[in-house]
């Protein structure tokens, strides 16, 4: 469950975060304003609050059940995904935007000078170079996200932390159980960090 949560919300937050980053550098003031507001709001709210809000607020009050009103488990999982994506996209956006800032302004000028449109400049010239520069910071976001999936336990998603809690309640070996789960997370995140660190070096754009 933890892995499933991590993978889907990682992909989701990458896409949404990149879109937000695109908005933050776009020439349209409305989009810029929206993305800036979104990032500054969402990243300053504790994840627990966001996740709990998806359940208590969105689902119970507004009736947003993500098409799973009869199955509480599926509903919790989808709402947790929504919360995780919404939260981490803000961090992805800022990482990508800092990457955009590392791309020399001449690259965009040259791209505009041959007649590419704004979105083409962003997609073909700027983002590919920006992503290569921020693979390592993105790995940080990804690792944080992997660990933050534990917050989903708060709304009853049976991911690792929830599992651990029920095991500790039923078994006596509290320390051992804690150690096993901690080790499990290291097993998930360490290779991610090492791989992306290596990739970041390999893909770096030479200037």
Partner 1 sequence: MTKVSVAKEDAVPTGELVVLKSVNKHFGALHVLQDIDLSIARGEVVVVIGPSGSGKSTLCRTINRLETIDSGAIAIDGKPLPQEGRELARLRADVGMVFQSFNLFAHKTVLENVMLGQVKVRKADKKQAEEKARALLDRVGVATQADKYPAQLSGGQQQRVAIARALAMDPKVMLFDEPTSALDPEMINEVLEVMQQLARDGMTMIVVTHEMGFARSAANRVVFMADGRIVEEAVPDQFFSNPRSDRAKDFLSKILHH
Closest CA to 195 of 146, 135, 144: 135
Closest CA to 88 of 53, 51, 57: 51
- Residue 119 vs 174, nearer CB to partner 1: 119
How many residues sit close enough to partner 1 to count as binding (CB under 8 A)? Answer: 22
Using rule CB under 8 A, residue 201 touches partner 1: no
Stretch that binds partner 1, among 57-65, 87-95, 116-124, 140-148 (CB under 8 A): 116-124
What DSSP line would sit under 40-67, residue for residue?
Answer: HHHTTS-HHHHHHIIIIIIIIIT---TT
Using rule CB under 8 A, residue 128 touches partner 1: yes
Contact by Cβ (8 Å): 98, 137:
yes
Stretch that binds partner 1, among 30-38, 69-77, 89-97, 115-123 (CB under 8 A): 115-123
Using rule CB under 8 A, residue 54 touches partner 1: no
CA distance 72 to 53: 16
Contact by Cβ (8 Å): 8, 78:
no
| Region 14-43 residues binding partner 1, contact defined as CB under 8 A | 27
Residue of the chain from 14, 111, 141, 153 that contacts partner 1 (CB under 8 A): 111
List contacts with partner 1 (CB under 8 A).
Answer: 27, 104, 106-107, 109-117, 120, 124-125, 128-129, 132, 205-207
């Amino acid at each position: 469950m933890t892995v499933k949560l991590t993978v889907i919300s990682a992909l989701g937050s990458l896409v949404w975060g990149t879109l937000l980053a695109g908005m933050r550098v776009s020439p349209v003031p409305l989009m810029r304003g929206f993305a800036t507001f979104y990032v500054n709001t969402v990243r300053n709210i504790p994840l627990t609050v966001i996740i709990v809000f998806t359940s208590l607020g969105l689902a119970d009050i507004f009736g947003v059940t993500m098409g799973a009103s009869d199955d509480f488990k599926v509903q919790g999982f989808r709402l947790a995904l929504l919360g995780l994506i919404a939260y981490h996209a803000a961090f992805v956006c800022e990482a990508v935007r800092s990457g955009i800032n590392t791309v020399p302004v001449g690259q965009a000028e040259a791209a505009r000078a041959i007649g590419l449109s704004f979105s083409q400049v962003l997609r073909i010239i700027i983002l590919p170079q920006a992503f290569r520069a921020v693979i390592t910071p993105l790995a940080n976001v990804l690792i944080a996200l992997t660990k933050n999936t534990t917050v989903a336990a708060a709304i009853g998603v049976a991911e690792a932390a929830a599992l651990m809690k029920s095991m500790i309640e039923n078994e006596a070996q509290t320390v051992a159980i804690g150690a096993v789960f901690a080790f499990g997370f290291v097993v998930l995140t360490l290779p991610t960090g090492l791989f992306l660190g290596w990739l970041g070096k390999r893909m770096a754009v030479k200037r």
